[in-house]
Amino acid sequence: MSDLPGTPVTGSIPAHPSESRVVLEARGVGVTRDGRPILHDVNLEVRTGEVLALVGPNGAGKSTLLGALSGELDYDHGTVLLDGKRLGDYRTIELARRRAVLNQASEVSFPFLVREIVAMGRNPWVRTPQFDDDEKAIAEAVRTADVGHLVERRFTALSGGERARVSLARVLAQRTEIVFLDEPTAALDLRHQEDVMRASLALARAGRAVVVVLHDLSLAAAYADRIGMLTGGTLAAIGTPNEVLTAERVGRAYGLGVRVYHPTPGSRPVILPLRD
Q: Going residue by residue through the chain (276 aa), what tens digit of pLDDT does each one get?
A: 333 333 333 334 455 666 789 999 999 999 999 889 999 999 999 999 999 999 999 999 999 999 999 999 999 999 999 999 999 999 999 999 999 999 987 667 688 999 999 999 999 999 899 888 899 999 999 999 999 999 999 999 999 999 999 999 999 999 999 999 999 999 899 999 999 999 999 999 999 999 999 999 999 999 999 999 999 999 999 999 999 999 999 999 999 999 999 999 889 999 999 997
Half-sphere exposure of 268 (CA within 13 A, CB side): 14
**Of 70, 78, 55, 265, the residue nearest 174 (C-alpha):** 70
Q: Which of 226, 224, 231 shows the shortest CA–CA distance to 251?
A: 231
> 17 near 220, Cβ under 8 Å?
no
pLDDT at 169: 96
User: In angstroms, how far is CA 177 from the centroid of its own chain?
Assistant: 12
Question: What are the two backbone dihedrals, phi and then psi, of residue 4, each rounded to the nearest 5 degrees?
Answer: -60, 130
Max Cα-Cα span within the chain: 61
HSE, side-chain direction, 13 A CA sphere, residue 197: 24
Which of these, 198, 192, 194, 195, lies nearest to 210 by C-alpha position? 198
Is 118 buried (19+), middle (13-18) or exposed (0-12) by CB count in 10 A? buried
Domain locations in the chain? 22-273
Q: What does the alpha-carbon distance between residue 230 and residue 66 come to, in Å, rounded to a whole number?
A: 12
* DSSP string covering 96-119: HHHEEEE-S-----S--BHHHHHH
Whether this prediction's pTM lies above 0.95 is answered by no
161 burial type by CB count under 10 A (0-12 exposed, 13-18 middle, 19+ buried): middle
CA nearest to 163, candidates 112, 199, 209: 112
* Domain 22-273, CATH class in plain words: alpha beta
